[in-house]
Each structure stands twice: as structure tokens, then as C-alpha cells.
Chains A and B, each alone.
Chain A
Amino acid sequence: DAGVTQSPTHLIKTRGQQVTLRCSPKSGHDTVSWYQQALGQGPQFIFQYYEEEERQRGNFPDRFSGHQFPNYSSELNVNALLLGDSALYLCASSRGTVERGYTFGSGTRLTVV
């Protein structure tokens, strides 16, 4: 049990569609970061949420947006899906700063056809 829960585990979408991925952080964690991991590559930072605000953003287009709720859970939304958006989307939670290490969820495998 990773402590971080992501849903759904797998998803198949068509180009141009929109998708919402969900994440519940580990108990006691208040910071949620989202990563995209293409096959055979390292995780790429999308953005991080803390106190319901986007604290930092990586080099991803505005099609990628997110939200954090008062209970610290988070959503990742991707609009106008492209084939290149196919990847494993990982949610990582932490308590406070990044200094303490991340706990990752099992991820959502998104396939865009």
C-alpha cells in the first residue's frame, strides 16, 4: 500500500478529448506534486499544489491544469489530448518541503488513441 491513492489506474481516451485524474495524498501530507513519466524515461514535473494553490509549474502547456481541495486531495486535468500525452501520470505527496522525500502513488496509465 503506497499510502497515496490514484484513480483511475488505466484510461483510454481519444485525441481531442479531456481527462481528469485524481489523487488522495498520504495521511498527514499537505503537498501534492504531479509528474508525467513516458516509457523508459524519468518522471517529468508538471506542477505542485500546496494550500490549494499551484506553487510551482514545470514546462507543460496550459492544457494541463490542476486543483487541490481543502482535504489536500488533488486533480490533474488535461484538455485537447494529443497522442504524445500517453504516459504514466504519477502523483506524489509530501509534508511541507521537498526535503522530506516523496511518497508516490501507483499512477494512472493514460493511453491516447
Chain B
Amino acid sequence: GQQVMQIPQYQHVQEGEDFTTYCNSSTTLSNIQWYKQRPGGHPVFLIQLVKSGEVKKQKRLTFQFGEAKKNSSLHITATQTTDVGTYFCAGPLTGGGNKLTFGTGTQLKVEL
């Protein structure tokens, strides 16, 4: 089963509102990656965080990696309809070898 959990599972927001998804791993991660999957599409790589406590920004998106390297968050400021999709965190779990374990995902819907 999944060892990387995300909350919330679903989020409905009005356009212009902020959105945050949280990712928690059962073990430490050497790095955390975030992917976006549009409805009917495939996951697309957004960003990778490597250092403990690291924060990275991509326009309206802010990504954080926890101090213990077991949790992460993605925050979107002033959502737009183009942000619709499912956001997955993923990482190589300690002892998990080279494979990337994906989180359960947060589905974001944005209404006008």
C-alpha cells in the first residue's frame, strides 16, 4: 500500500482563493518531487526539493520540504482555472531503492 499520504484528498475552491496540499511520508526521503496530472492526462514533473527545510517558488506555486525530510507542502496563491488537476508528491523512500513512490494525490477543482 501507499506509504506517502496526502491531504486533503479533494479540494474545491473559488477562483482567486489559495490552495494547499500536504504530503507526509512514513520514512525519510532523499528528495521530494511534485507532479501535476490534468484530468485525462499524465503526470507532469513540476519541481524537486532536496535540502531539509528547502523552499522553492514557481510563480504562484510555493513548495516546501520539511526539516525532517518526511513531509512537504505545495501552496498555490490565487488559484486559476488552469490549476485544475491532481497534484502528487513523490519520492524515493529510505530503503526503497531507486523507485519513486507516489502519494495518494490531492484533486483540485477551481470554480469561477
Contacts and interface: CB of A to CB of B under 8 A. Distances in A.
A33 to B, nearest CB: 7
A55 B101 CA distance: 15
Sort chain B's interface into a size bin. 20 to 34
Contact of A41 (B33, B44, B92, B104): B104
Nearest to B102: A42
A105 interface: yes
Contacts, number: 62
A89 to B, nearest CB: 11
B30 interface: yes
A7 interface: no
Nearest to A97: B98
A92 B99 CA distance: 11
B99 A33 contact: yes
B105 interface: yes
Q: Is the interface of A mostly helix, strand, loop or mixed?
A: mixed
Interface string B43-58: 1110010100000000
Given A56-B97, A101-B48, A42 B42 contact: no
B78 interface: no
21 contacts: A33-B99, A41-B104, A42-B105, A43-B43, A43-B102, A44-B102, A45-B101, A45-B102, A48-B98, A48-B99, A58-B99, A92-B100, A98-B92, A98-B100, A99-B30, A99-B31, A101-B45, A102-B33, A102-B100, A105-B42, A106-B42
- Leading 4 A-B pairs by shortest Cβ distance: A42-B102, A101-B45, A104-B42, A56-B97
